[in-house]
Amino acid sequence: MIAAVGLQSAVIFTGYAWLFSNGRITRGYLRLRRWFEGAFAVLFAGAGLKILTSRLPT
């Protein structure tokens, strides 16, 4: 299991490195970074609110 997770992580991060080594994609990301971060902030806030308002089964 540890080897599988390690291999999966290596493949994903290698893919990120390969993807962002392209200058065009990097510039596009930097231009849209504020929107990405805002969207993730809204999603995490919604998830946190859901957790805070959920009731535990008794």
Structural domains in the chain (count): 1
Q: Please give the residue range of the domain that contains residue 14.
A: 2-53
Handedness of CA 6, 11, 12, 16 (dihedral sign): positive
Q: What is the pLDDT of residues 9-45, one digit of tens each?
A: 999 999 999 999 999 999 999 999 999 999 999 999 9
User: Dihedral angle at the C-alpha atoms of 8, 5, 9, 6, nearest 10 degrees?
Assistant: -110
Q: 15 lies in a domain?
A: yes
Half-sphere exposure at residue 14, Cβ-oriented, CA atoms within 13 angstroms = 6
Instruction: Let me know: does 11 contact 17? Beta carbons within 8 Å.
Output: no
Q: 58 lies in a domain?
A: no
Q: Is residue 50 predicted with pLDDT exceeding 80?
A: yes
User: Whose structure tokens read 């080897």?
Assistant: 3
Instruction: Report H helices in the chain.
Output: 2-20, 23-53
Q: Is residue 57 predicted with pLDDT exceeding 90?
A: no
Q: 33 lies in a domain?
A: yes
